């Protein structure tokens, strides 16, 4: 192998990274620089070193046409990994998150036996799904012996691949920028290529390559082969005066002696773009594969093409680009049109063909539109950006009156919004609405806008679009059922649950009549949510169970509406935690089967809510963190608002006001951008923050909207039963006695509506007990809370009962209650509440201090939570994240979050270190 000149420092750093990989640590390195600057050579040398050290090597190169075909880059990159091809083909139409998790599991299993180097050249050209996979896999595998080397060119135009690489760098990936070679390195490269010391004339000529190694080698090789460089007595010099521009002269020289057939072969290969088969290029040239074999050998011998397994590719992409750009425009366009149908005939997917169709510039005919629709169906579930861009480019080739145009526009609008490009979706949708004439097409377009914008949290826009669609007299019944079901959720979020219930009921009735069972499930889900808002928990369970029954009976798209998720939420509100746990586990299975990745942030949020209800603050935080991560990777940041609010609330319990402020500020920023939010999420967390800071009046001002909805809107007290008592304390400190009485009436109504739910009875007794300072009511509240498993509510009830007992002169009883409250707060990790209780205990003469439970920032085995310990044990036994998730009924992202916390607490950076530490810990015990 030729020596790597001028890149010794970068090579040394990468070799150190290789050594760390052998030791068990993961790493990601992004190598960037212009074309021909030496990125590929650096990857080649490091890959060779890795293979020599027994490290598995997976190497690939993204091509210009990859961006239109999901997973193309990653699949080519990891071809040698057993099982990848089967999973990729089987799961491509499922959700992107599940697919990437499976790929990650395969890599985890592979590196149990051998470390792995994954090198990707021209990573900036990666398809959307591969870019998404990098964002997930690189951090997820950071504790495994995987070294990622990702090479890219700097690009003025942004895209999902460049954004993913920038994000990895912001998250800690190393960045190496390769600039031009210095003068000494240029001289060394000249000597290496020519086998002689370059004189001043050669160096002056070499300067024309501007320090670019590839261009310099091409220039020197060409001049040497044409007799314009001579070496004598160990020194090379230039002869002749006619020196053409360096790179184009090199390409011209290599082509000059080729036959016309070989030149046509190279033109066809340049148009095909990515590595191509002999049959594909033969078909494009109208020749048989056998006829082309001598011509292919000629191009290979001339060092233009190289073999790449069963395919052919250009020795360097700069050569392909030069050949492609030399083709006349009409010739390129004609070849692209032919290539589209040839790659389809060779068994490639419609997504592979559609890029050729778009580049052909041919006005869309029926066949082209059919291929486009097939490609979009293939691409959209995992790569909405790519699918939307394909449609937008094809729309330029379709007449305004084309019969397929309205449907294509509707698809593009929906995909743009799902990809986070809401402004583009609205512009396209609005402009198209002015030109669409048929009512059915208008309704379809409005429905697409509504569905997509609802997923991005723009509820005010969605309400407008659904209302416009429903106002049309000839709205089809199936579409009407879907629109009504969607509008029901909007009315819930906007604070009008009664209207929401009526609309949801109509959606169910029309859905049954029209056979639109997804709307039936959705409508029943909405009615369940309305019942929870009103505090009618039995009714909420009834509607949720009916939604599950319909979805199980009908199947299909109705199961993608997640009825089990809403059932589990209703079960949590009803204190039936074990049943809720089982419901969440089953819904996670349904999510993976249905491929509805956008539901996963919701799943993590409601799991976090269950953990918070149980007083498991650490586990609640891990679920919420995982949900935020998933929302970010799905580019669905609006879905992160309730999760950020949850993290803010947990941080207040943990007495980490700096983090609480940070989380709430992030959530507020999204709301300022137009994202809708349920007041019980963000407003309650923000009010608790102000209350903790001693600003009770500010806290009550934040809660004005919620207070005005009392006593009918009771959702807050089904989520946080002790919230009523806390609200009353805020009101008392602010002198707002009317609000305190209103809270008592609201919690009493909740208890009356749910005589079988202990937490509802506890909420009512607790709130009124605090307001009246009534010991018997507070004792009843504590008794009710004990029956629920709601540990934080119990501890707060114990604390309030202790204050009442102390005020009544029962100091010993008060001390006992406070000590129990302190123990519960300690077990939950609620440092702020614990500190408050201990302060009262000191006032009462109790000096023995109860140590807070270690939380974030603690270290050692004793700092691990039970959940973290279970995950660590399984990982130390060699199980992958996905296997651990399956055993513990978690998501792989929750497992990953547990691992990151555990690694920080134990001071390890790899699974190898973790396993050793676990073994040593067990031996010491």
DSSP string, 513-552: HHT-HHHHHHHHHHHHHHHHHTT-HHHHHHHHHHHHHHHH
Over residues 479-496, mean pLDDT? 85
Over residues 465-491, mean pLDDT? 82
Of 690, 682, 700, which is closest to residue 740 (Cα–Cα)?
700
Better pLDDT: 767 or 193? 767
Half-sphere exposure of 667 (CA within 13 A, CB side): 28
Q: How far apart are CA 108 and CA 882, in angstroms?
A: 9
CB 29 within 8 A of CB 914: no
pLDDT of residue 89: 47
Which range has the top average pLDDT, 46-50, 57-61, 224-228, 744-748? 744-748
Over residues 41-67, mean pLDDT? 87
Q: Percent of the chain at pLDDT above 70?
A: 92
Q: Where are the alpha helices (DSSP H) in 53-170?
A: 72-77, 84-91, 96-110, 128-140, 160-170
pLDDT of residue 493: 78
Q: Which helix (H) or strand (E) holds 465?
A: helix 459-470
Q: Where are the alpha helices (DSSP H) in 673-790?
A: 679-692, 696-702, 704-708, 715-719, 723-734, 737-753, 758-772, 775-786
Q: How far apart are CA 765 and CA 760, in angstroms?
A: 9
Is it the case that residue 93 has pLDDT exceeding 50?
Answer: no
Over residues 564-573, mean pLDDT? 96
- Strand pairing partners for 58? 118
pLDDT of residue 76: 77
- Strand pairing partners for 230? 237
One DSSP character per residue, 612-638 reads: HHTT-HHHHHHHHHHHHHHHHHTT-GG
Over residues 292-298, mean pLDDT? 90
Distances (CA, A) of 304 to 257, 262, 273, 313: 12, 10, 14, 9
pLDDT of residue 526: 93
For the stretch 116-139, pLDDT in tens is 999 999 998 888 888 888 998 999
Is it the case that residue 819 has pLDDT exceeding 90?
Answer: yes
* Residue 857 confidence class, pLDDT cut points 50, 70, 90: very low
Neighbours of 862 (CB within 10 A): 9
Over residues 58-84, mean pLDDT? 76
pTM for the whole structure: 0.80
Judge residue 19's burial from the number of C-beta atoms within 10 Å of its C-beta, 0-12 exposed, 13-18 middle, 19 or more buried: exposed
pLDDT of residue 245: 47
Q: How far apart are CA 699 and CA 708, in angstroms?
A: 14
pLDDT of residue 592: 66
* Residue 449 confidence class, pLDDT cut points 50, 70, 90: confident
Provide the pairing of β-strand 174-177 with 27-32: parallel
Distances (CA, A) of 283 to 268, 269, 346: 10, 11, 9
Q: What angle do CA 622, 584, 866 make, to 5 degrees?
A: 40
pLDDT of residue 301: 84
b/e burial code for range 553-568 (CB count within 10 A of at least 16 → b): eeeeebbbbbbbbbbb
Question: Mean pLDDT lowest for which of 324-333, 567-576, 854-863?
Answer: 854-863
* Residue 632 confidence class, pLDDT cut points 50, 70, 90: confident
Which two tokens mark 708?
Answer: 């005005």
Over residues 387-398, mean pLDDT? 78
Is it the case that residue 204 has pLDDT exceeding 80?
Answer: yes
Neighbours of 478 (CB within 10 A): 16
pLDDT of residue 381: 67
CB 161 within 8 A of CB 383: no
Of 221, 204, 324, 317, which is closest to residue 268 (Cα–Cα)?
324
Which two tokens mark 790?
Answer: 């709601």
Question: Mean pLDDT lowest for which of 51-65, 499-513, 589-603?
Answer: 589-603
Better pLDDT: 447 or 55? 55
Better pLDDT: 472 or 54? 54
CB 653 within 8 A of CB 833: yes
Q: How far apart are CA 59 and CA 39, in angstroms?
A: 13
Is it the case that residue 242 has pLDDT exceeding 60?
Answer: no
Report cis status (omega within 30 of 0) of the bond before 711.
Answer: yes
Which range has the top average pLDDT, 249-253, 479-483, 829-833? 829-833
Is it the case that residue 548 has pLDDT exceeding 60?
Answer: yes
pLDDT of residue 858: 60
pLDDT of residue 252: 64
Over residues 171-175, mean pLDDT? 91
* Residue 753 confidence class, pLDDT cut points 50, 70, 90: very high
Question: Mean pLDDT lowest for which of 494-498, 557-561, 861-865?
Answer: 557-561
- Angle between helices 537-554 and 517-533 in degrees, nearest 10: 170
Of 681, 786, 666, 775, which is closest to residue 723 (Cα–Cα)?
681
b/e burial code for range 730-767 (CB count within 10 A of at least 16 → b): bbeebebeebbebbbebbbbbbebbeebbbbbbbbbbb
pLDDT of residue 10: 87
Q: How far apart are CA 529 and CA 506, in angstroms?
A: 16
Which range has the top average pLDDT, 322-336, 339-353, 590-604? 322-336
Of 919, 917, 924, 871, which is closest to residue 897 (Cα–Cα)?
871
Q: How far apart are CA 305 and CA 196, in angstroms?
A: 28
**Across the chain, what does the average pLDDT equal?**
85
């Amino acid at each position: 192998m030729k020596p790597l000149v001028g890149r010794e420092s970068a090579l040394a750093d990468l070799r150190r990274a290789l050594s760390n990989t052998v030791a068990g640590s993961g790493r990601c390195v992004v190598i960037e620089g212009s074309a021909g600057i030496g990125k590929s050579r650096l990857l080649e040398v490091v890959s060779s070193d890795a293979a020599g050290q027994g490290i598995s090597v997976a190497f690939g190169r993204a091509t210009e046409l990859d961006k239109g075909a999901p997973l193309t880059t990653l699949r080519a990159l990891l071809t040698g990994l057993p099982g990848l091809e089967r999973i990729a083909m089987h799961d491509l139409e499922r959700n992107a998150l599940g697919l990437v998790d499976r790929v990650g599991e395969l890599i985890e299993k592979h590196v149990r036996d051998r470390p792995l180097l994954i090198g990707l050249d021209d990573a900036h050209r990666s398809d959307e799904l591969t870019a998404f996979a990098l964002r997930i896999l690189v951090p997820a595998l950071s504790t495994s012996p995987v070294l990622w080397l990702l090479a890219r060119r700097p690009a003025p135009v942004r895209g999902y691949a460049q954004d993913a690489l920038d994000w990895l760098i912001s998250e800690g990936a190393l960045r190496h920028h390769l600039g031009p070679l210095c003068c000494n390195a240029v001289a060394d490269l000249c000597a290496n290529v020519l086998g002689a010391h370059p004189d001043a004339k050669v160096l002056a000529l070499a300067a024309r390559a501007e320090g670019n190694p590839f261009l310099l080698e091409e220039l020197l090789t060409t001049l040497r082969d044409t007799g314009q460089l001579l070496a004598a007595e160990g020194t090379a010099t230039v002869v002749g005066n006619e020196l053409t521009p360096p790179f184009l002269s090199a390409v011209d020289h290599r082509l000059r002696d080729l036959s016309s057939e070989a030149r046509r072969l190279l033109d066809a290969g340049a148009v095909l773009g990515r590595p191509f088969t002999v049959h594909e290029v033969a078909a494009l040239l109208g020749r048989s594969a056998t006829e082309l074999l001598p011509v292919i050998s000629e191009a290979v011998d001339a060092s233009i093409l190289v073999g790449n397994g069963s395919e052919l590719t250009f020795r360097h992409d700069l050569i392909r680009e030069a050949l492609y750009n030399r083709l006349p425009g009409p010739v390129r366009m004609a070849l692209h049109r032919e290539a589209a149908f040839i790659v389809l005939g060779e068994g490639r997917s419609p997504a592979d063909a559609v890029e050729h169709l778009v580049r052909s510039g041919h006005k869309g005919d029926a066949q082209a539109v059919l291929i486009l629709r097939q490609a979009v169906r293939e691409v959209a579930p995992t790569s909405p950006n790519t699918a939307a861009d394909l449609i937008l480019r094809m729309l330029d080739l379709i007449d305004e009156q084309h019969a397929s145009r309205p449907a294509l526009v509707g698809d593009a609008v929906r995909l743009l919004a799902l990809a986070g490009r809401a402004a583009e979706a609205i512009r396209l949708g609005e402009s198209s609405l002015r030109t669409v004439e048929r009512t059915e097409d208008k309704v379809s377009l409005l429905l697409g806008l509504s569905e997509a914008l609802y997923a991005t949290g723009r509820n005010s826009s969605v309400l407008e679009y659904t209302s416009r669609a429903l106002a049309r007299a000839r709205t089809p019944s199936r579409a009407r059922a879907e629109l009504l079901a969607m509008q029901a959720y909007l009315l819930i979020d906007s604070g009008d649950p009664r209207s929401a219930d009526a609309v949801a009921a109509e959606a169910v009735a029309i859905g049954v009549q029209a056979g639109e069972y997804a709307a039936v499930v959705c409508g029943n889900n909405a009615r369940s949510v309305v019942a929870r808002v009103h505090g009618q928990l039995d009714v909420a369970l009834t509607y949720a169970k009916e939604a599950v029954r319909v979805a199980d009976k009908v199947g299909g798209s109705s199961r993608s509406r997640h009825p089990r998720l809403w059932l589990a939420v209703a079960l949590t509100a009803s204190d039936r935690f074990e049943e809720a746990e089982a419901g969440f586990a089953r819904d996670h299975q349904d999510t993976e089967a249905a491929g509805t990745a956008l539901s996963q942030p919701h799943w993590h949020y409601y799991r976090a809510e269950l953990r918070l209800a149980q007083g498991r603050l650490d586990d609640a935080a891990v679920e919420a963190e995982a949900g935020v991560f998933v929302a970010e990777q799905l580019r669905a940041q609006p879905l992160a608002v309730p999760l950020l609010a949850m993290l803010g609330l947990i941080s207040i319990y943990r007495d980490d006001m700096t983090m609480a402020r940070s989380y709430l500020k992030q959530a507020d920023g999204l709301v300022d951008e137009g994202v809708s939010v349920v007041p019980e999420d963000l407003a309650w967390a923000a009010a608790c923050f102000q209350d903790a800071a001693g600003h009770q009046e500010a806290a009550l001002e934040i809660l004005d909207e919620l207070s005005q909805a009392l006593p009918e809107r009771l959702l807050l007290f089904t989520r946080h039963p002790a919230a009523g008592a806390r609200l009353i304390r805020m009101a008392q400190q602010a002198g707002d006695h009317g609000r305190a009485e209103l809270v008592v009436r609201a919690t009493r109504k909740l208890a009356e509506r749910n005589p079988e739910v202990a937490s509802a009875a506890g909420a009512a007794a607790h709130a009124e007990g605090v307001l009246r300072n009534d010991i018997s009511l507070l004792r009843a509240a504590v008794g009710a809370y004990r029956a629920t498993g709601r540990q934080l509510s119990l501890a707060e009830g114990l604390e309030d009962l202790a204050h009442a007992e102390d005020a009544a002169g029962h100091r010993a009883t008060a001390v006992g209650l406070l000590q129990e409250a302190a123990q519960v707060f300690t077990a939950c990790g609620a440092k702020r509440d614990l500190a408050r209780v201990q302060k009262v205990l000191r006032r009462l003469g109790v000096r023995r201090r109860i140590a807070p439970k270690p939380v974030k920032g603690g270290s050692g085995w004793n700092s691990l939570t039970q959940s973290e310990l279970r995950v660590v044990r399984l990982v130390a036994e060699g199980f992958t994240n996905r296997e651990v998730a399956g055993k513990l009924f978690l998501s792989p992202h929750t497992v990953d979050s547990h691992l990151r916390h555990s690694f920080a607490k134990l001071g390890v950076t790899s699974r190898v270190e973790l396993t050793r530490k676990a073994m040593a810990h067990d031996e010491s015990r």
